[in-house]
Structure 1
Amino acid sequence: MAAYTEAWNASEEILVRMARAVPSVAWGYPAGVSIADLVPSDMKTMVHSHWNKFPPVNPMWHYLLGMVYIILGTVSIAGNSLVISLFTKTKELRTPANMFVVNLAFSDLCMMITQFPMFVYNCFNGGMWLFGPFLCELYAATGAVFGLCSICTLACIAFDRYNLIVKGMSGPKMTSKRATILIAFCWAYAIGWSLPPFFGWGRYIPEGILDSCSFDYLTRDSSTKSFGLCLFFFDYVTPLSIIVFAYFHIVRAIFEHEKILREQAKKMNVTSLRSNADQNAQSAEIRIAKVALINISLWVAMWTPYATIVLQGLLGNQENITPLVSILPALIAKSASIYNPVIYAISHPRYRVALQQKLPWFCIHEEEKKPISDTDSAKTEASSS
């Protein structure tokens, strides 16, 4: 974590120097023009005075970010649509636990559909927000809803894995009804946190290079500051703590369980105490847990820079929050929707089998085995302990 923080600080310093090194006149703008001077007249009251300190960025950044987002948006929409299609149409994949995967893919799909078209349009048409104040607020609110729903869903996936692997048969069984309730809670939780800025607690404003919008983390009045800190704590720290707790105990349980089995096998002078079926079940459990852990680690890596910027804007030195320093972490965070279908779903054993059967030209090879249900998996874990 220290190395990660050091690397991010170094990157931030580079972006700060880039933002201030070249005067705006070099990009064809009159001397003394700030980036805030370029926004349409109907947006000027929404732009924070902090951005008056910075000259316009090199237009190259708008085109570059626009091209990158076209690629990310296309891949994300295609990948998440494929996940939803296969998980809902393949009988073997329609399990309570996989309802969370479908919800995650749906949330990520909605994130890209609502975010990348307007952002790309702005990038190739002057680089400023061109859709007016209302759509700026709506853009920011939808980004908040789908982003928060995704992290809540990831917390549910971690909770489900924790119950299945650590608790085994002693934990509450994940049923379709329970999964539906948890998914509904995630959406209600996300929508609940996106609404306060419309009623005076916090607000949504243009951010960064001013071609996208997010919640205000620069104003330091009590309302805006308290809302930003609550978002940071309840929508980043709290879900992250749940995820870390769950996966810490999952990893510990797996290692302890394997250690006990090895010791027992050694005493009995046999290679393994498991039958082939038990080994397949255990292998599937561990594989899915590892994939989910990788997925969540990537989510943390993508959202932590933005969370750091938000916390710095609320409590720290705002001088280093340049347009590029703020917009790049925000876009990286939103691009998290692209890797979920790649890392989690495609690495899911039964999903790979379904993908191989329905889309053989994907060149994915997965040996088809007898399906292992979540209940059987839990029984295996309980009987082996």
Structure 2
Amino acid sequence: MKNRQQELPEDFYIPIPLDTNNITSLSPFLVPQDHLGGRGVFMCMAVFTFFLFVCGTSINVLTIVCTIQYKKLRSHLNYILVNLAVSNLLVSTVGTFTASVSFFNRYFIFGPTACKIEGFVATLGGIVSLWSLSVVAFERWLVICKPVGNFSFKGTHAIIGCAVTWFFSLLASAPPLFGWSRYIPEGLQCSCGPDWYTTDNKYNNESYVMFLFCFCFGFPLTVIIFCYSQLLFTLKSAAKAQADSASTQKAEKEVTKMVVVMVLGFLVCWFPYTSFSLWVIFNRGQTFDMRMGSIPACFAKSSTVYNPIIYVFMNKQFRSCMMKLIFCGKNPFGDDEDASTSSQVTQVSSVGPEK
């Protein structure tokens, strides 16, 4: 049987040349990774990831509790927002928390097995989040743009939408556990993710990263852009037909702002991570600062905070209920519970030009 010293190199990768004959002595599971960055860098990352953990966990727990507490929030169109909160909570409590503790200690203290688990769970939650965002866009396109006529969106459709996100996410995140790529420490070696560093034919890492890019970033982004562009076109047509209606014009402006924020939020969270991993793949042999490898991963983890702010807090019903829950039944901001961007948009589209 191989001993631990022989097995460790299979569980991590140090991409910079070092004057040592024993690469295992620099294992990110055994010793602080001070050769990759100063103590101050690790402490800054520890503070930032701890902030993401506290905020992401709090906001997403609040979303779930509000949905349980207030029956009015349990509408079919809100199922996917709860699904998004669950996936964000998974990333926050497992991925972001372990990263924060590891950055504080300057190495992944939980060991190689925990690294695989953390990498899998964080990747699973992240992909569920990505697919959930595309399902939100698709649902709104069906309900508002009516591409299949007077489509009646029911609870069964919402449950299917949630199930699809978990099915495809498991399909995409499980392969590294079975030999197609692998989960190893990334960046400053304090969080784990798919191996996009190496070209070892044993793991076929390049094909897996390309699969993730196309299936888990490119496809959801295409769905989001298509559905929201169609939504904007429908609203602009309705607003043009009702140029004298102040409420219609207001709804059109609100939804336009909402769509722009949603698309930008998606890109801010995920574009740095995907583009950096692709850069490494297509520029093999080029040296790069490992500190730069941790920044995109943290941007991706920050989606646990951005997503609920964009998708939940911009929903007036959710926001009103959250304020009541926090302030013991009172809403200091005075939002109208029954008014929401979604309902305004539906009204606008329903009186728009017939197809």
TM-score, normalised to structure 2, is 0.84
Aligned to 1:110: 90
Q: Match for residue 234 of structure 1?
A: 215
Q: How big is the shift at 1:159? A: 0.5
Query: Unmatched 5+ residue regions in structure 2?
Result: 19-33
1:205-220 to structure 2, matched below 5 A, reads 205-220=184-199
Residues 149/83 of structure 1: CA separation in 2 closer, same or farther (3 Å cut): same
Structure 2 partner of 1:313: 280
Q: Is the 8 A contact 2:115 2:183 kept in 1?
A: yes
Query: How many aligned positions are there?
Result: 330
- State whether structure 2 residue 35 is matched by structure 1 residue 68: no
Distance 1:293 1:85 in 2: 28
Alignment of 1:249-264 (within 5 A): 249-262=230-243
Q: Is the 8 A contact 2:235 2:348 kept in 1?
A: no
Residue pair 1:197, 1:204 contacting (<8 A) in 2 also:
yes
Paired with 2:285 and 2:79, the residues of 1 have a C-alpha distance of: 42
Provide the rounded CA distance (Å) in 2 between the counterparts of 1:318 and 1:288.
Answer: 46
Q: Hey, what does 1:203 align to over in structure 2?
A: 182
Matches of 2:295 and 2:118, distance apart in 1: 17
Question: Which of 330, 337, 345 in structure 1 is aligned with 2:297?
Answer: 330
Question: Per the alignment, in what secondary structure is the counterpart of residue 206 of structure 2?
Answer: helix
Matching of residue 147 in structure 1 with residue 126 in structure 2: yes
2:79 counterpart (74, 87, 99): 99
2:328 paired with 1:349: no
Counting aligned pairs with the same residue, the percent is 25
Please give the alpha-carbon distance, in whole angstroms, between the structure 2 residues aligned to 1:51 and 1:100.
Answer: 43
Provide the C-alpha distance between the structure 2 equivalents of 1:147 and 1:368, rounded to a whole number of angstroms. Answer: 31
SS, match of residue 205 in structure 2 = helix
CA contact (8 A) 1:169 1:382 kept: no
Q: 1:383 aligns with which of 335, 339, 351?
A: 351
Deviation per CA, 1:106-159, whole angstroms, max 9, x where unpaired? 11011100112221221222x111222111111111111000000100001001
**Pairwise mapping of residues 353-364 of structure 1 onto structure 2 (< 5 A)?**
353-360=320-327, 363-364=332-333
Supply the AA of the counterpart residue of 1:47: F
CA shift at 1:284, angstroms?
6.0
Gap regions ≥5 residues in structure 1: 1-39, 263-270
Q: Which amino acid aligns with 1:382?
A: S
Aligned 8 A contact 2:187 2:294 in 1: yes
1:241–1:377 distance in 2 versus 1, CA, 3 Å? closer
The structure with the greater share of residues assigned to helix is 1
Equivalent residue number for residue 192 of structure 1: 171
Q: How does 1:277-316 map to 2 (within 5 A)?
A: 279=247, 287=254, 290-291=257-258, 293-316=260-283
Query: Structure 1 residues 286, 191: closer, same or farther in 2, change over 3 A?
Result: farther
Residue-by-residue CA offset, 1:234-253 (whole Å, 9 max, x unaligned)? 11111111111111111122
Moved over 6 A (4+): 370-374
1:284 and 1:258 map into 2 onto residues whose CA distance is 9
Determine whether 1:87 maps to 2:67. yes
- Offset at residue 339 of structure 1 (A): 1.6
2: CA distance between counterparts of 1:213 and 1:52?
A: 21
| Cα distance change, pair 120–368 in 1 and its aligned pair in 2 (3 A) | closer
Q: Secondary structure at the match of 2:335?
A: coil
Output one character per residue of 1:66-87: Cα deviation in whole Å (capped at 9) or x when no partner.
1111111111111111111112
Does the 8 Å CA contact 1:168/1:378 hold for their aligned counterparts?
A: no
How much is the aligned-residue C-alpha RMSD, in angstroms? 2.7
d(CA) in 1 for partners of 2:341, 2:229: 24
Worse-matched range after superposition: 350-359 or 305-314:
350-359
Alignment partner for residue 224 of structure 2, among 243, 250, 265?
Answer: 243
TM-score, normalized by length of structure 1? 0.78
Paired residue for 2:10? 45
Shift of 1:370: 6.8
- Cα gap change, 1:207 to 1:232, in 2 (>3 Å): same
Which amino acid letter does the alignment assign opposite residue 45 of structure 1? E
Distance 2:135 2:98 in 1: 31
